[in-house]
Structure 1
């Protein structure tokens, strides 16, 4: 069971640095395993360790502040820097807190609303910390890109003596099964047989807003050929009524082999003989 550090050092909670030092010296001498052979050594070592840990925490202003707010569970730092623990509990010293917001390409195409549950630390008037939970409504705009930030002022963790930090969600794009994004353009890769590359084909693509797009391919498709469909890309975030382009990148599949007759027919058609 955890022992209260103030009780362990036999000081009150308002003890000064000098009072802490005197209390520690007195108890350290009493329980040091090498200076008190009359004590049970195992008991003495355990007690001495507790006293030293208590003094280490209470003599450090940041560690003591965390201990006063959160108690023993956050006082045992395992030799971690108190600044790291403080940042973990309160955020980065009053600076904005950032969280990743993963969005599908469909959300970024059409725009959407998302409810996000958060937990954050706030400081009561008494100086004690408490955890509050609430739900935030995030409105994702059409055409938003990776790196777009949505700021909720004063919705982050609060550090003692300071106003709560801002909470910032940073947009990240989830990979899509069909489309890739290049700025405001959408890219789709399409395999096509050599026959269709030469004679034509009609493609049916489902757009990010659920429409079926019929695309006739009438040009001869050469390796590396890119077909551009205007205004079927991503909305432009500053002008959502305007869109980028849809780019179809073709991969022409050649047959692994041809029979002698097939070679003859190909030559006859292409050469005109």
Structure 2
């Protein structure tokens, strides 16, 4: 059957005209070559295929031929196992993708980019264009943009990004996690009216991400007339932890010990953020400001896979509130020697 136009537009075979327009609007804005300067070759191929699918499925005659004979019959190619076209004399030649884009949107959100030259040549009037004769390229450009009154090469302004906080536990940021977020937004339907739409977004939180990290979903904000849709941005926010505090790539633990433990030694028992049990011996005398550093037990370092920061244990020595005369004498005898 060749190309599955329904799959190209991500619609089912019972899609209405509104369904097709909505699908084309979304996909054409996503894959227009001028919006994908770093991947223009792939974007141009997808953009042309999306435009071709919309042209076929939005035309009742072409859609009927396609549904019955597939792409081969639609384009006058012999169907598999046949020596002639299944659609007989019906031969479909796709229109220029930029012509469809310009006709659909009324003005280019991206200005005249990589495909603009081909589009303008198709618009030149010789009596055979479906738009009639415009009297040359200059008039074509003026007609193309006069709907917004901005002159040649105008661009639609993009709405400012919409930011939302994404609270994450230290465990989430240590091991990584996946979040499913249901969003509700307003989108323009084929008639230009705002209608509600819901969608579930998947956010992959990477090990080592920090507070303030931004995850951007292009064009997922509310749509407005004469504006490109806003980007939806989630900003990582770190929840307080009852044991650990983050300092860059390091983790800090505040540990209280007695004077006897500070002088005679002790051990610190901790559960790591990924659930392991640590037993850390303290053999040095703990003096004011003493900090014990455990290498590679901190947070993952996002730019250096496999590496981690340090775990830093800060001690607070609890002094006794009172001593008996015998205890005082004993301490003087021990410490004095």
TM class, shorter-chain normalised?
Answer: 0.5 to 0.7
CA contact (8 A) 1:152 1:167 kept: yes
SS at match of 2:228: coil
Task: Name which of 226, 229, 252 aligns with 1:187.
Answer: 252
Structure with greater strand percent: 1
| Residue aligning to 1:151 | 216
Give the corresponding residue for 1:163: 228
**Gaps (5+ residues) in structure 1?**
1-91
Aligned counterpart, 1:130:
195
Structure 2 Cα separation of the partners of residues 240 and 253 of structure 1 = 40
2:316 matches 1:251: yes
Provide the C-alpha distance between the structure 2 equivalents of 1:167 and 1:251, rounded to a whole number of angstroms. 45
2:4 is matched with none
CA RMSD of aligned residues (A): 1.2
- Aligned pair count? 181
Q: Does 1:206 align with 2:271?
A: yes
1:118-165: CA deviations, max 9, x gaps?
101101111110111111000000000011000111111111133321
Q: Which runs of 5+ in 2 are unaligned?
A: 1-156
| Residue among 223, 228, 241 paired with 2:288 | 223
Match of 1:115 in 2: 180
Indicate whether 1:106 and 2:171 are aligned.
Answer: yes
Maintained 8 Å contact 1:143/1:240: no
Does the 8 Å contact 1:99/1:168 carry over to 2? yes
Could you give the per-residue CA deviations for residues 212-241 of structure 1, whole angstroms, max 9, x where no partner exists? 011000000012211111110111111231
Residue 190 of structure 1 contacts residue 251 of structure 1 at CA under 8 Å; is this kept in 2?
A: yes
Structure-to-structure mapping, 1:43-82, within 5 angstroms: none
Q: Does the CA-based 8 Å contact 2:158-2:228 persist in structure 1?
A: no
Q: Which residue of 1 aligns with 2:300?
A: 235
Contact kept in structure 2, 1:230 and 1:246, CA below 8 Å:
yes
- SS of 2:306's partner is strand
C-alpha displacement at 1:166, in angstroms? 1.0
Determine the structure 2 residue equivalent to 1:95.
Answer: 160
- Distance in 1 between the 2:273 and 2:336 partners? 43
Matched, 1:266 2:335: no
Whole-angstrom distance in 1 between the partners of 2:223 and 2:313: 50
2:238 corresponds in structure 1 to 173
Equivalent residue, structure 2, for 1:196: 261
> Does the aligned pair in 2 maintain the 1:179–1:186 contact within 8 Å?
yes
Q: Secondary structure at the match of 1:197?
A: helix
CA distance in 2, matches of 1:240, 1:97: 31
Structure 2 residue 224 is the aligned partner of structure 1 residue 139: no
- Measured against aligned partners, the alpha-carbon deviations of 1:158-180 in whole angstroms (never above 9, x if no partner) come to 11133321111011100001100
Contact 1:93–1:159 (8 Å) recurs in 2 = no
